[in-house]
Every structure is written in structure tokens, then in C-alpha cells.
């Protein structure tokens, strides 16, 4: 999906949330915005090879401890592997 189209859909839904009355429909829209937002890649939380890389949304480890004080980062993952999350990931900061 195109990042701009997703962001436009989220912005439109925020307008609907702000104008609709309190109730179940408002909560459904908030949930839909949260899920749509996970299609937009967020930068992983990277602290170096000595610490695990974390998902920016759920803080799931995206690394494996090698037992020698270092971590192998799964930088090939496009999405968080947590079944309750699936946040799209941006590894650009981890590759600097």
C-alpha cells in the first residue's frame, strides 16, 4: 500500500472521529486508525549490537541473543512477528 494513501485515510478517519458522537462507532474508528497506522513503517528501536532491536509499537525483540554479549538483528523482517502487532518496520537507523 502507498504510504500517502494510508496517511490520507487515517487523516479522514480522524476527522470522522472528531465529529461523531461518543459511542461504539467512535471506538471502532479509533481501532481502525490504529490498525491502518501499522501499515506505515516505523523506525525500529536500535541501541547497538549489544542490545536487542525492539518493535516501536509493542517492544517485541527483533533480535536473537548470541550468548557472547552481542545480538543478531533480524533486519530482513518487514513486519513485527508478534501476532498481536504486525507493525511495518523501518530499519534505516539500524543500518547506519
Distances (CA, A) of 75 to 29, 34, 37, 52, 57: 32, 24, 21, 11, 16
Please, which residues have CB within 8 angstroms of residue 74's CB and are 6 or more apart in sequence? 53, 62, 63, 64
**CB neighbours (10 Å) of residue 11?**
10
Q: What is the pTM of this model?
A: 0.78
Is the dihedral angle over the CA atoms 95, 69, 67, 57 positive or is it negative? negative
Query: How confident is the model over 28-84, as pLDDT tens digits?
Result: 888 888 888 899 999 999 998 889 999 999 999 999 999 998 999 999 999 999 999
Amino acid at each position: 500500500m502507498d504510504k500517502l494513501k494510508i496517511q490520507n485515510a487515517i487523516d479522514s478517519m480522524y476527522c470522522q472521529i472528531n465529529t461523531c458522537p461518543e459511542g461504539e462507532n467512535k471506538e471502532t474508528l479509533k481501532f481502525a486508525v490504529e490498525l491502518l497506522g501499522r501499515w506505515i513503517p516505523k523506525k525500529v528501536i536500535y541501541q547497538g549490537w549489544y542490545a536487542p532491536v525492539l518493535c516501536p509499537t509493542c517492544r517485541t525483540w527483533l533480535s536473537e541473543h548470541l550468548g557472547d554479549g552481542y545480538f543478531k538483528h533480524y533486519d530482513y523482517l518487514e513486519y513485527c512477528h508478534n501476532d498481536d502487532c504486525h507493525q511495518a518496520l523501518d530499519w534505516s537507523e539500524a543500518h547506519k
